[in-house]
A and B are shown apart, each in its own frame.
Chain A
């Protein structure tokens, strides 16, 4: 069974609208991450969290907020979606060992 799930798997949003991407993990991991992937590029870290009710900024946090209401759930929020935020978003979890376990991704298109 998939240990990291994401919803929705695909979404079309309008510019200026609010978008919430959800991630759920059953790995019992403390660490969770949000990345974005753009065509031809690697993954870039947006936000991460190492404990519930706390989030940290990654390398590209501008335009994004994150929420970690429980150990299992980690959300990424785009308050005012923009065209430049069209990308595939991946959630991941990890224990202490640096190895990360990824979800299947959410393809977001902003029009």
Chain B
């Protein structure tokens, strides 16, 4: 079955530091991939999405992600973290079935930013 694994439940960084949140996927073929962000007490919002093509995808608020087929990874990066980035980040992949739009989410990585 298609799946994503986010190995880090929590990541803590200082404001201004660089960031990488890890996502590993299991998928037959080349998948679409998504990163969503959930700010405190809010629903999920799309951060960026990857469709087969350029492996580096730009998202909102300075985030980017790099797809690697050889490593089965889709890590999220940001050059300089801001305190407002404090949130939970989810990686997601379609299930590879005939159902369009159905996503499988990872467990999420909670990002904490300190001054």
Residues in A with CB closer than 8 Å to B102 are 33, 45, 48, 58
Instruction: Specify the main secondary structure of chain B where it touches its partner.
Output: loop
Tell me if B82 is interfacial: C-beta within 8 Å of chain A.
Answer: no
Give the interface segment out of B61-69, B73-81, B103-111.
B103-111
Binary B-proximity of A26-41 (CB < 8 A = 1, otherwise 0): 0000010100000011
Q: Does A104 lie within 8 Å of B9, measured CB to CB?
A: no
Q: Does A100 lie within 8 Å of B42, measured CB to CB?
A: no
Residues in A with CB closer than 8 Å to B115 are none
Q: From residue A90, how far is it (CB to closest CB) to chain B in Å?
A: 6
* Interface bin, chain B: 20 to 34
Residues in B with CB closer than 8 Å to A1 are none
Within 8 A of B (CB), among A84-99: 90, 92, 94-99
Binary A-proximity of B84-103 (CB < 8 A = 1, otherwise 0): 00000010001000011111
Contact of B103 among A95, A100, A104, A105 (CB under 8 A): A100
Q: From residue B16, how far is it (CB to closest CB) to chain A in Å?
A: 28
Residues in A with CB closer than 8 Å to B49 are 98-99
CB contact under 8 A between A98 and B94, given known A4-B43, A42-B106, A104-B43? yes
Tell me if B27 is interfacial: C-beta within 8 Å of chain A.
Answer: no
CB contact under 8 A between A99 and B46, given known A40-B107, A41-B107, A43-B105? yes
Residues in A with CB closer than 8 Å to B45 are 102
Residues in A with CB closer than 8 Å to B43 are 4, 90, 92, 102-105
> Bound complex: CA of A92 vs CA of B41, how far in Å?
16
Contact of A90 among B9, B41, B44, B46 (CB under 8 A): B44
B interface residues (Cβ-Cβ under 8 A, vs A): 9, 32, 34, 36, 41-46, 49, 90, 94, 99-103, 105-108
User: Can you list 23 A-B contacts with CB-CB less than 8 angstroms, sorted by A residue number?
Assistant: A4-B43, A33-B102, A40-B107, A42-B108, A43-B44, A43-B105, A45-B102, A50-B99, A50-B101, A58-B102, A90-B44, A92-B43, A92-B44, A96-B100, A97-B101, A98-B94, A98-B103, A99-B46, A100-B103, A101-B46, A102-B43, A102-B44, A104-B41
